[in-house]
Amino acid sequence: MPKPKVFITRKIPGPAISLLQKHFQVRVYPKDQVIPRKELLKGVKWCDALLCLLTDKIDKDVIDANPHLKVISNYAVGYDNIDVPYATKKGIPVCNTPSDVIWLYFLAINPSTASVIMAIINIISGKLDRNTLPST
């Protein structure tokens, strides 16, 4: 069975990418800049899970680019950059860094990335229901 695919819109610090690579096929936009729209759409079409940054506009067109998208996780405190109502309507969970407090013990590894990574792993694998996550 092939590993699920995660697309990350920019390289993020710490062990996050190597942690993901243990469980997923991972692609990372290689430049340290806001991802161009064309590259964002290309990455979203490829993935099962999207790990984006606050600088990335995740709107209806991006969400609709992949009918099999399973989760959107924002490497940020908020999620004003994501059309959360539309993602919810499509059945796609949207997470951000602090909403994943259930993974608090992973914060010892890397406070800024570990909770996001574990939520992605568990939502995609069906081990975590987004309705059980505390709201922020």
Which CATH number do you get for residue 58? 3.40.50.720
Contacts by 67-71 with C-beta closer than 8 Å and gap 24+?
69/44, 70/4, 70/123, 70/124, 71/95, 71/119, 71/120, 71/123, 71/124
Domain assignment of residue 135, yes or no = no
pLDDT at 100: 44
84 assigned to some structural domain: yes
Could you tell me the strand order of the sheet in which 71-75 lies?
25-28, 5-8, 49-53, 71-75, 94-96
pLDDT value of residue 76: 83
Residue 77, domain member (yes or no): yes
Predicted local confidence at residue 103, as pLDDT: 42
Range of the domain at 74: 5-129
Ranges in the chain, pLDDT < 50: 99-110, 134-136
Task: Classify residue 136: in a domain, yes or no.
Answer: no
pLDDT tens-place string over residues 75-106: 887 889 999 999 999 999 888 875 443 343 34
**18 found inside a domain:** yes
Specify the pLDDT at position 99.
44
Q: For residue 134, tell me if it sits in a domain.
A: no
Q: What is the pTM of this model?
A: 0.74
Number of domains in the chain: 1
Residue 39 falls within a domain, yes or no?
yes
Q: Is 108 inside any structural domain?
A: yes
